[in-house]
Chains A and B, each alone.
Chain A
Amino acid sequence: AQSVSQHNHHVILSEAASLELGCNYSYGGTVNLFWYVQYPGQHLQLLLKYFSGDPLVKGIKGFEAEFIKSKFSFNLRKPSVQWSDTAEYFCAVISYSSASKIIFGSGTRLSIRP
């Protein structure tokens, strides 16, 4: 079955630590990839997206993600996290074969210790 897997359910870091959140998908063919963030009490917001071209994508607030097609992965990174990065992070995929909808992973809760 087509799916999106986020391996870390809850990550706890101290401020200034580096972050990497894993995301793998099981779709074949061409995909578009996204990371969304949901701050406490707020709506889902787009962090970054990959459609084509450079597999290293830069997003808002210093986040970046790298698409590695051979590994079916799209990991999110940030070199130095801040307390304000505390949120839930969702990886998501649209496959060209099911272009109608975006499929989400189960999310990773990120807690930053001040």
Chain B
Amino acid sequence: DTGVSQDPRHKITKRGQNVTFRCDPISEHNRLYWYRQTLGQGPEFLTYFQNEAQLEKSRLLSDRFSAERPKGSFSTLEIQRTEQGDSAMYLCASSLDGGAVGNTIYFGEGSWLTVV
């Protein structure tokens, strides 16, 4: 158990519906990341937070995607007007400060999204 929790683990939704994923990081971690992973590919960076501030967003994160971390603890990732191309696993990860300073980034088990 890594300590990063994601909910729900699986979500099937109809095209055009909105979905929201929640991530609870390891409690003392101030950095929180969102990644997307499709079959046969490595995780792709979407966005990250330092405490409650969203500091970087990938170009993969279209206007239909929004992420928040209102109190610097848990985070939500919302996808509006889902499309079939959004079908993927959405991974959350957390770390104490950044990985570049020697801290390990811990991943959650992911939330599988299937858009039908």
Using a CB–CB distance below 8 Å, which chain A residues touch chain B? 4, 6, 9, 32, 34, 36, 42-46, 49, 51, 90, 92, 94-96, 99-107
Contacts and interface: CB of A to CB of B under 8 A. Distances in A.
Interface of B: 2, 4, 33, 35, 40-45, 48, 55-56, 91, 93, 98-102, 104-110
A109 B88 CA distance: 18
Contacts of A107: 40-42
Contacts, number: 62
A43 B110 contact: yes
8 smallest CB-CB distances across A and B, nearest first, come from: A104-B42, A99-B100, A44-B107, A43-B109, A101-B45, A94-B100, A94-B99, A106-B42
A90 to B, nearest CB: 5
Which of A9, A99, A101, A106 neighbours the largest number of chain B CB atoms within 10 Å of its CB? A101
Nearest to A43: B109
Contacts of A96: 100
A101 B56 contact: yes
Contacts of B2: 43, 45
